[in-house]
Amino acid sequence: MANPALNNQLFENQSFISENNIMTINGTMLKSMFLLFLVFISGAYSWATYIAGNMPMVKKFMIAGFIVGFILAMIIIFTRKTAPFLSPLYAIAEGLALGGVSAIANAQIPGVVFQAVVGTLAVMFVMLSLYMSKVISVTEKLRSIIVASTGAIVTIYIVSLILSFFGKSVPFINDATPIGIGFSLLVIIVAAFNLLLDFDIIERGVAMMAPKYFEWYCSFGLLVTLVWLYLEVLRLLSKLQRR
């Protein structure tokens, strides 16, 4: 599996030629930037709460943000036309959640959040440059590899979550050992390549003249990948600092 929002079947068996308002690259970029702005604003609110010393409230923001964000994401994925209305709410919820995660991480390792933000943005721009310059082309073979790799990682995380209920965990993946660090590097690489799939889906939607609401839907899907990428970069940096 890959990003559940932006997958290879998104535009299959659909015809959009009759739509008056169609999806554009510029429209998708503007909406993506708007969603990132909302993430930043709500994340900054969680961060300000952390600076004020109210860590219990920060943890509540984090838990509520992830729960609400997950629910909204499921609704958007299964009813795509809700994307224009629910994507901004999803971005706000994820901002609160990421702000909480970041606050907790920074309390343990000062400065790690700034490094994670810079690292995430760097990876995004590098992958966008590689895609736009056609240095890496999204072929069916590459897509299959990325999808299979993502599915394997998701399976490992699900197993780890189930084991955590019994006080156990998948060996090494959460440890600051060479294996644990190598695993985090692998996950970051897979998340980065998922960005290529997202860019490709957006470009294909524009080529197929998808309706305007797909700008919001694809922007939402791209944000899902970026949230995952940020969390994995933060996890890797935290492991390196613990060594």
Q: What is the pLDDT of residue 100?
A: 95
pLDDT at 15 over 90: no
Name the band, by pLDDT with cuts 50, 70 and 90, for residue 169.
Answer: confident
Instruction: Render pLDDT for 109-164 as a digit per residue (tens, 0 to 9).
Output: 999 999 999 999 999 999 999 999 989 888 899 999 999 999 999 998 888 888 87
Report the distance separating Cα 174 and Cα 171, nearest Å: 8
Residue extents of the structural domains in the chain = 25-242
The angle formed by the CA atoms of residues 126, 131 and 135, to the nearest 5 degrees, is 95
- Report which of 111, 123, 128, 93 is spatially closest to residue 202, judged by C-alpha positions: 128
pLDDT at 168 over 90: no
Average of per-residue pLDDT values in the chain: 89
pLDDT at 1 over 60: no
Name the band, by pLDDT with cuts 50, 70 and 90, for residue 7.
Answer: low
Q: What is the pLDDT of residue 57?
A: 95
Share of the chain above pLDDT 70, in %: 91
Q: What is the pLDDT of residue 137?
A: 87
pLDDT at 98 over 60: yes
pLDDT at 228 over 70: yes
Please indicate whether residue 242 or residue 216 has the higher confidence score (pLDDT).
216
Q: What is the pLDDT of residue 95?
A: 97
Structure-token pair, residue 164: 């955590």
DSSP letters spanning 91-154: HHHHHHHHHHHHHHHHHHSTTHHHHHHHHHHHHHHHHHHHHHTTSS---HHHHHHHHHHHHHHH
pLDDT at 6 over 80: no
CB-count burial class (<10 Å; 0-12, 13-18, 19+) for 225: buried
Q: What is the pLDDT of residue 2?
A: 55
Share of the chain above pLDDT 90, in %: 72
Instruction: Render pLDDT for 175-227 as a digit per residue (tens, 0 to 9).
Output: 888 888 999 999 999 999 999 999 999 999 999 889 999 999 999 999 999 99
pLDDT at 17 over 70: no
